Amino acid sequence: MAYWVAYPLHSSYLGNAKRTDDWQYDPAIAMEFQPTLFKGFGTSGYDRGHQLPSADRNFNNAQNKTTFYFSNMTAQASKLNQGVWANLENKVRTWTAQCDTLYVVTGAMPNTKSNTAIEYIIDNKNIEIARPKYYFKALAMKKGKNYYTIAYKMDNETPSSNKFEKYQMTVSELEKVTGFNLFPDLNTTQKQSIDANIWR
């Protein structure tokens, strides 16, 4: 599974194309390195969770089909995927209307600093696939020459709240959790604060 997927989001990627549900292997990656998920995961209560959401690439059918590659899927708790995580994804698309470009990094982590043991879930070929322990989303909004950032982290389980604001943190805080250097061209000041007038 991909630890993270990074992509830009602006009006040229958004449109009225319908969700294709064209589940397929990613042609750019060898099949043996991808889960087989034509029928979903072999454990109830988990969805084929998109890292790059289908609705973030609906300008046309060709774009939308790429979001259904198995390389873009992780085993996401259904009540998380269809609840607060979906609420956050919808809000992200709303934010694109107020900026030039919104840069998004969505990640799924199979371990934590305190729990390095990887848990598994079964795909359609009965092969073990890593199950994420948590998900994160980091955003960098470009408005003119300025950048504004925010991040979110949610455990891969039934959420305690459907309000995504509860899971908010700075990008700098998320970097400490994940060990990743997110938006490396931005400075520390840009990543360690959240402008409430922007993210509302």
How many domains, the chain? 1
Domain residues for the domain of 23 are 4-191
DSSP 8-state secondary structure symbol assigned to residue 59: S
Give a yes or no: residue 150 inside a domain.
yes
In angstroms, the CA 147 to CA 56 distance is 21
Paired tokens of 87: 């609420």
- Which tokens hold the place of 149? 């950032």
Residue 48 lies in a domain: yes
Q: What backbone phi and psi angles, to 5 degrees, belong to 71? A: -65, -20
Whether 196 is in a domain gets the answer: no
In a domain, 199, yes or no: no
CATH number at residue 144: 3.40.570.10
pLDDT in single tens digits along all 200 residues of the chain: 999 999 999 999 999 999 999 999 999 999 999 999 999 998 999 999 999 999 999 999 999 999 999 999 999 999 999 999 999 999 999 999 999 999 999 999 999 999 999 999 999 999 999 999 999 999 999 999 999 999 999 999 999 999 999 999 999 999 999 999 999 999 999 999 999 999 99
| 168: exposed, middle or buried (Cβ count in 10 Å: 0-12, 13-18, 19+) | middle
